[in-house]
Structure 1
């Protein structure tokens, strides 16, 4: 079939990038403009099938040549944007955010960013707007397709050669991938969005369209109908659809729309003309440049301004034009005249230089570049317990306070580690010391199993606690844990695997798991409280952002806003944990340490105080914030105060 330049496909590119840009710049009416990416996938699948089938049919397909052509098309512009982001980040990002940018640039250049963003998704995920290279996830998916699809086509072509047979096989593969995508959309939506196998059907759909086009030619009038119907479906999807998860079955709409336009082989004023030609030819550059500029507006706190968004959009188009005219097109032409070895070698050199620079940023962050007022926020107080490396771990036997007998046992996880110093300070000059038993992300109580076989240390640490306590009869036990994290923020989710579970019980956050956990928790605490005083601490409020980095980023931008969450948010996040603690107090005689008065008022729980962070991240108090707990602990454990106060 003909490989002549098709204005309808170029116009389809224009619509795809236009919808994505309008969505990212929050233009009203384009709430699902991200569907433009699905259109890009169909186009890529179609063009790759065309290129590969032509080479296989003529017997001259060279995978080296194929990959070199993809490198010429994709890599130079991607490297340019990556370098620009690293340079801009030097001036605009605090060390932690700059380190994250370095990691994202590195993964983008390795075409692995979709897996990186998938690994960051979930409770600990930072806001998407802070990720300047987020849009490269789709390039990574496409590159993974480029790596696998030629091998698939080569294998199939040795077996069957007719377009009809290839179409039938491709449809079967599409159905399998689409079914997987829909299941993920319902159960693991982050993987549905970023995962290659959940997106492969969209690219394969482009391959199916190629084979279908080779089998039939539509009458002109019917082709025009397909053309208009396809564009209409795409635009309506971008403007009307509001899915709870994407892609799944909803993505059938833009994929179908793109397929109809390509099959229609027609033209219209909405795909042919100076504007559509310009947008289509520069669609890749526009895609690369627009998102970092939108993300920078978020970083600068300017995104809510329509005028700033308009200015950034204009700048994105200008940079795309300059990059296309003076770098992307001429470099592609020059590299096209050079050998494949030269192209691939040059790409490897760029990866080593720029990727190596990104890795240096990832590791170092270069904090010395920060102004002094920003450094004051970052380094005014220790961000963690100075004895953390010495004490937080299963192999340590760590004591806080003077030599002598153990007067108290503090057990738990990294949250327990953050309160060790104020707890010791609250004891004043009393004799005895505090024995610390804990490790990161460990409940440190007996009778549990862990779903991660590599965290057997947590299980062992908890099971050893009774033996440790047996050597310390009558010594009080203080338990501090991030209980709400281990109980999924009070939310039942039968599709999410739990961290801990009762041996023989459910391993997912089902209603049964919550009931089993409640029974175990109360039975365990009642057993411990029968032999000694047992104290449990209310959950530490958890912020929505990394507090230190957020305040430092604000200061770098000349801004100052307090960091806090509402008391209602606190109650919602910790509902299950709070109810467990209340039951333990009522049924077991366990004693409660309420630290919320030190960190919250009636309306809010605060992560900052007069511009200084109380936390080192979202949920761990720093050595400034934990000082607020000393007066609270004094009420319970201070000199001359009875333990029952």
Structure 2
């Protein structure tokens, strides 16, 4: 495709469009009810990035001046100064403010951020044990990861196409359609993957590239056609004297583009399957605004105004600063900060962004190889710092962390051990075995069953007994259902353990537990072979109850008939408050008034589940029932505490910690061995 070099001047309206995008994102994060679709500002950035990168590459290729070294050197000088400064700031502030598990996670996210793979890191974390997105100070770097991965691959595609004399526009249209198709096909199947990974989002950046190709193409015929359309539309709207010089078509493009962007801000919210078709609004809107050109009235008067341009110029550091400044107060306070705190965070982000742009980013944009080398060295240093923080478990011996209870928080890789994986297999999410011998006690279910492993391990360490926990998160297969998207793995693991329980003579006790009251409303039926057949979903609550009754009864009959002791563990109280409010942490004293759950709330929360369970167990008087609330709650005082004898008994709002498992282990073990 023949292209001509377009030496058009800097377009302030594009900086103004950047301002719209970044302020939409900032306001959404700070005040989500004010602009519920503000997160689509990221999609506007994608279009702008695709437009600018394609324009630069094609102009340089046609001018014979394109160089990969020069291109990536410019990217480093554009991105690294502000990014490194903000990541170092997070390292320093996190040292004094975060607990070890939080700081360890921050270290991982710092390394993935400077390595431009944040989107992949957050995608890999999304799932059963993912901590809240609102507690990840660097979550917003996922979009930077997508952009930089695109910047790494796309110039190579254009350069190869140009060298082979291929039509660059055709290539881009092909990439656009392929990526958009992947997005639309998979948005309902694997929404997290579609949201985070480049192949599913590339079409948004390529849309800007296609626009750049169109604008940079030879313009004689195009300008003539545009002039005729302008005259035709202007004569319809204006009188003969007024239509001359009107940019009616450009204004229509601009107005339509702004309309689509605003529609995206207020028609899209977090309940929508996004990006999907919904992303068409901000993407197409951005394309039309840029296509309108800097002389369209909105572009010239609004987007090119000093305020919009100023915000646009600091948009990159503002994007980087705003999220950590909103998240750190949330982490420290243990709850959503007040409107005042969030407002001050936005103001602080604006000030710090201007300082970053003025004194760090702008001075580093120009210069030779020395500046680039320094930035690459600093980037590698920041990457190494993040790795060290992660590898050393967030440095738990920091002076700010003196409370021993903090070691109980979070998931620290204790879900599996090598002995269990080598001896039993690697297909389960949770795999622990206490001794290198055939187990006598088997835990079956989900993470709620697995959590009792540590207490039983403690109780049996001086005996000949061995404990095996081989379970799957989100898996209530012995009830006959699962909420896992890969429910086949749930069924496979459960069948394996049930066969083990029935056929291994060393197993004398089987402990069942799960958390079905959370996911029974969105459950996939599972067939354990009791004549139920396969089905896609439950037709009614009666159908669900009947299915559970058949499966549970079949499982219990088979296990009990083998002479095994069967124990069913009910759910521990679910905590509706932030667990870290229960301890003194950096910058905040513990709040005892926020550290407890009403026993009556626990009963009410699990009422339907417990009624179903009690009805099932009545049929099997041999089943021994263990209720952890008996030990964790004061029924008369209507209070359940996550702390006993100075020990933290929970690792999060749902799961017991190791200390919690050991606290209940004595009572559970006595029930197992009750004559």
TM-score (norm 2): 0.77
For structure 1, the 5+ residue unaligned runs are 401-405, 426-430
Aligned to 2:290: 262
Aligned to 1:418: 454
CA-to-aligned-CA distance 1:322-351 (integer Å, 9 cap, x gap): 1111110111123xxx13xx4553343123
Q: Equivalent residues in 2 for 1:209-224 (5 A)?
A: 209-215=211-217, 216-217=222-223, 218=226, 219=230, 220-224=247-251
Tell me, yes or no, if structure 1 residue 594 matches structure 2 residue 624: no
Q: How far is 1:194 from its partner?
A: 1.2
Aligned partners of 1:569, 1:382: CA distance in 2, in Å? 22
Q: Equivalent residues in 2 for 1:508-527 (5 A)?
A: 510-511=537-538, 521-527=552-558
**CA 259–524 in structure 1, closer or farther in 2 if over 3 Å, else same:** same
Aligned partners of 1:324, 1:534: CA distance in 2, in Å? 65
Q: Equivalent residues in 2 for 1:97-176 (5 A)?
A: 97-160=102-165, 166-176=168-178
Aligned to 1:199: 201
Decide which of 614, 620, 628 is 2:649's aligned counterpart.
614
Aligned partners of 1:570, 1:391: CA distance in 2, in Å? 39
Whether the 8 Å CA contact 2:455–2:666 is kept in 1: the answer is no
Decide which of 72, 80, 88 is 2:85's aligned counterpart.
80
Aligned partners of 2:653, 2:616: CA distance in 1, in Å? 28
Aligned partners of 2:211, 2:196: CA distance in 1, in Å? 24
Whether the 8 Å CA contact 2:134–2:327 is kept in 1: the answer is yes
Aligned partners of 1:505, 1:75: CA distance in 2, in Å? 59
SS of 1:224 mapped into structure 2: helix
**CA 127–397 in structure 1, closer or farther in 2 if over 3 Å, else same:** closer
**CA 630–126 in structure 1, closer or farther in 2 if over 3 Å, else same:** closer
Aligned partners of 1:172, 1:389: CA distance in 2, in Å? 47
Tell me, yes or no, if structure 1 residue 231 matches structure 2 residue 264: no
Whether the 8 Å CA contact 2:400–2:586 is kept in 1: the answer is no
Aligned partners of 2:656, 2:420: CA distance in 1, in Å? 15
For structure 2, the 5+ residue unaligned runs are 1-5, 231-246, 424-431, 481-485
Aligned to 2:182: 180
Aligned to 2:304: 272
Tell me, yes or no, if structure 1 residue 300 matches structure 2 residue 300: no
**CA 28–613 in structure 1, closer or farther in 2 if over 3 Å, else same:** same
Larger deviation, residues 235-244 vs 621-630: 621-630
Aligned to 2:373: 345
Whether the 8 Å CA contact 1:282–1:320 is kept in 2: the answer is yes
Aligned partners of 1:291, 1:586: CA distance in 2, in Å? 54
Q: How far is 1:433 from its partner?
A: 6.2
SS of 2:140 mapped into structure 1: helix
Whether the 8 Å CA contact 2:99–2:585 is kept in 1: the answer is no
What is the Cα-based RMSD across aligned positions, in Å? Answer: 4.4
Q: How far is 1:85 from its partner?
A: 0.5
Count of aligned positions: 609
Aligned to 1:534: 566
Q: How far is 1:46 from its partner?
A: 0.4
Aligned partners of 1:181, 1:604: CA distance in 2, in Å? 48
Aligned to 2:398: 369
Whether the 8 Å CA contact 2:476–2:515 is kept in 1: the answer is no
CA-to-aligned-CA distance 1:301-330 (integer Å, 9 cap, x gap): 275322222221111111111111111011
Aligned partners of 1:194, 1:26: CA distance in 2, in Å? 23
**CA 466–454 in structure 1, closer or farther in 2 if over 3 Å, else same:** closer
Tell me, yes or no, if structure 1 residue 465 matches structure 2 residue 501: yes
Larger deviation, residues 564-573 vs 517-526: 564-573
Aligned partners of 1:353, 1:415: CA distance in 2, in Å? 38
Whether the 8 Å CA contact 2:581–2:595 is kept in 1: the answer is no
Larger deviation, residues 7-16 vs 579-588: 579-588
TM-score (norm 1): 0.81
Larger deviation, residues 389-398 vs 305-314: 389-398
Tell me, yes or no, if structure 1 residue 329 matches structure 2 residue 362: yes
Whether the 8 Å CA contact 2:455–2:663 is kept in 1: the answer is no
Aligned to 1:309: 342
Decide which of 46, 49, 60 is 1:44's aligned counterpart.
49
Whether the 8 Å CA contact 2:76–2:375 is kept in 1: the answer is yes
Whether the 8 Å CA contact 1:393–1:439 is kept in 2: the answer is no
Aligned to 1:252: 280
Whether the 8 Å CA contact 1:100–1:362 is kept in 2: the answer is yes
Aligned to 2:660: 625
Whether the 8 Å CA contact 1:595–1:632 is kept in 2: the answer is no
Q: How far is 1:182 from its partner?
A: 2.6
Whether the 8 Å CA contact 2:12–2:303 is kept in 1: the answer is yes
Whether the 8 Å CA contact 1:526–1:584 is kept in 2: the answer is no
SS of 2:34 mapped into structure 1: coil
Aligned partners of 2:300, 2:599: CA distance in 1, in Å? 53
SS of 2:406 mapped into structure 1: helix
Q: How far is 1:108 from its partner?
A: 0.3
Aligned to 1:403: none
SS of 2:467 mapped into structure 1: strand
Whether the 8 Å CA contact 1:394–1:437 is kept in 2: the answer is no
Tell me, yes or no, if structure 1 residue 289 matches structure 2 residue 321: yes
Aligned partners of 1:245, 1:382: CA distance in 2, in Å? 29
Whether the 8 Å CA contact 1:103–1:358 is kept in 2: the answer is yes
Decide which of 68, 72, 84 is 1:67's aligned counterpart.
72
**CA 456–67 in structure 1, closer or farther in 2 if over 3 Å, else same:** farther
Larger deviation, residues 358-367 vs 578-587: 578-587
Aligned to 2:21: 16
